[in-house]
Homo-oligomer: A and B are copies of this chain.
Amino acid sequence: MLSINMKNETDIRQVLWQLAFQFKVSTKRAVRDYDLPLNGMHVRLLQMIDRHPDCTAQQIAGVTGRDKAQITRVVKELESMALITRTPDPEDRRAQLLSLNEKGQGLMARITDAEDEVKKTLLKGINKKDQNTFIEIGNRMLDNLRISSRSD
């Protein structure tokens, strides 16, 4: 057999890409199964706003690494769906503070249910210690990538 199989060894890239893709697909399906009229970015932003109340679009763009134009659009959609409210930042009249309204919070609770199911599937048979190890190593990788892109 020798080293003929080298090209087939599991690559970190494969794992990352596949994992992200499969997770996205699973989440999408779960959200759909819960009859939530939301796409991936809607879900993502609602979560961000839920986690960071009174954040600004700019902050979300920074944390997620997405383009601010994209954030603007999704935020506008969420507002037109009456899920979030935008209030001008008293400290800086250019900025707007984002927060979930009641309807948004209700939906968020159902999103959480849907995602918890996916998480339960994802983590089946993986003990707490391994989960933490995975997250810890993953975060170190993230730091590596973020640092390198800062000094572009």
Contacts and interface: CB of A to CB of B under 8 A. Distances in A.
- Copies of the chain in the assembly: 2
Contact of A137 (B20, B130, B145, B148): B130
Interface in A93-142: 115, 119, 121-126, 130-131, 133-135, 137-142
Contacts of A24: 17
Interface in A2-55: 7-8, 10, 12-13, 15-27, 29, 44, 50-51
B21 A65 contact: yes
A13 B23 contact: yes
A122 to B, nearest CB: 5
A113 to B, nearest CB: 14
A59 interface: no
A64 interface: yes
Interface of A: 7-8, 10, 12-13, 15-27, 29, 44, 50-51, 64-66, 115, 119, 121-126, 130-131, 133-135, 137-142, 144-146, 148-149
A123 B12 contact: yes
B149 A125 contact: no
Given A20-B17, A25-B149, A144 B124 contact: yes
Given A50-B7, A148-B121, A138 B15 contact: yes
Given A122-B144, A137-B133, A137-B134, A16 B20 contact: yes
Contacts of A141: 19, 122-123, 126, 134
A27 B17 CA distance: 12
